[in-house]
Amino acid sequence: LKAKSILSKDFRIGRASDRLFGSFVEHMGSVVYNGIYEPDHEAADEDGFRKDVLELVRELKLSVVRYPGGNFSSGYNWEDGVGPKERRPVKLDLAWRQVEPNSFGLDEFMRWTGKVGADAIMTVNLGTRGIDEARNLLEYCNFPGGSQYSDLRRSHGVRDPYKIKTWCLGNELDGEWQIARKTADEYGRLACETAKAMKWVDPDIELVAVGSSARHMPTFPEWDRTVLMHTYEHVEQLSLHHYIGKRENDTPTFLAMPLEMEQQIKDVIATCDYVQSVKRSSKRMKLSFDEWNVWREPDVPYTPWQTGCPYDWVKFHMEDALVFGSALLSILRHADRIDIACQSLLVNTIPMILTNKGGAAWRNPTFYPFLHASRYGRGEVLRLETESPKYDTKLYTDVAKVDSVAVWNEEKGELTVFAVNRSEESIAYELDIRDFGNVSFAEHLVMNHERLDAVNTADNQGEVRPRAGGTTTLNGGRAESVLPPYSWNVVRFN
Ligand code: AHR
Verify that 120 and 200 share a domain, yes or no.
Answer: yes
Q: How far apart are the first and last CA of the chain?
A: 27
CA distance 198 to 134: 7
Mean pLDDT (the chain) is: 97
Q: Which residue among 352, 376, 400 closes a domain? A: 376
Q: Which of these is catalytic: 108, 133, 172, 319?
A: 172
Range of 77's domain?
A: 17-376
Verify that 356 and 418 share a domain, yes or no.
Answer: no
Verify that 242 and 390 share a domain, yes or no.
Answer: no
Verify that 397 and 296 share a domain, yes or no.
Answer: no
The CATH number of the domain where 363 resides is what? Answer: 3.20.20.80
Verify that 144 and 281 share a domain, yes or no.
Answer: yes
265-304 per-position pLDDT tens digit: 999 999 999 999 999 999 999 999 999 999 999 988 889 9
pLDDT at 206 over 90: yes
Q: Which of these is catalytic: 262, 291, 319, 380?
A: 291
43-80 per-position pLDDT tens digit: 999 999 999 999 999 999 999 999 999 999 999 999 99
304-315 per-position pLDDT tens digit: 999 999 989 999
For residue 172, which atom of ligand 1 is closest to its CA?
8
415-461 per-position pLDDT tens digit: 999 999 999 999 999 999 999 998 999 999 999 999 999 999 999 99
Nearest to 61 by CA among 25, 23, 110, 108: 23
Verify that 390 and 355 share a domain, yes or no.
Answer: no
The answer to whether residue 380 is catalytic is: no
Q: What is the largest CA-CA distance in the chain?
A: 69
ipTM of the complex: 0.99
pLDDT at 247 over 90: no
Ligand 1 centroid to Cα of residue 7, in Å, is 37
- pLDDT at position 128 is 98
Verify that 204 and 328 share a domain, yes or no.
Answer: yes
Q: Which residue among 324, 352, 376 closes a domain? A: 376
Give the torsion through C-alpha atoms of 163, 352, 25, 14, to 10 deg. 40
Residues 338 and 291: beta-carbon distance below 8 Å: no
CA distance 47 to 38: 9
What sign results for the dihedral spanned by CA atoms 261, 265, 271, 272?
Answer: positive
Q: Which residue among 318, 349, 376 closes a domain? A: 376
Q: Best mutation site among 72, 168, 171, 342 for ligand 1, i.e. most ligand atoms within 8 A of its Cβ? A: 171
Verify that 299 and 399 share a domain, yes or no.
Answer: no
Verify that 320 and 183 share a domain, yes or no.
Answer: yes
Verify that 397 and 347 share a domain, yes or no.
Answer: no
For residue 69, which atom of ligand 1 is closest to its CA?
6
Residue nearest to atom 4 of ligand 1 (CA): 70
- pLDDT at position 248 is 80
Verify that 56 and 175 share a domain, yes or no.
Answer: yes
Q: Best mutation site among 123, 172, 242 for ligand 1, i.e. most ligand atoms within 8 A of its Cβ? A: 172
Q: How does residue 152 score in pLDDT terms, banded at 50, 70 and 90?
A: very high
Bridge-partner residues for 421, per DSSP? 402, 487
State the total domains in the chain.
Answer: 2
* Strand segments (E) across 112-187: 119-123, 166-168
The answer to whether residue 450 is catalytic is: no
- pLDDT at position 300 is 82
The CATH number of the domain where 486 resides is what? Answer: 2.60.40.1180
Verify that 266 and 337 share a domain, yes or no.
Answer: yes
Residue nearest to atom 2 of ligand 1 (CA): 70
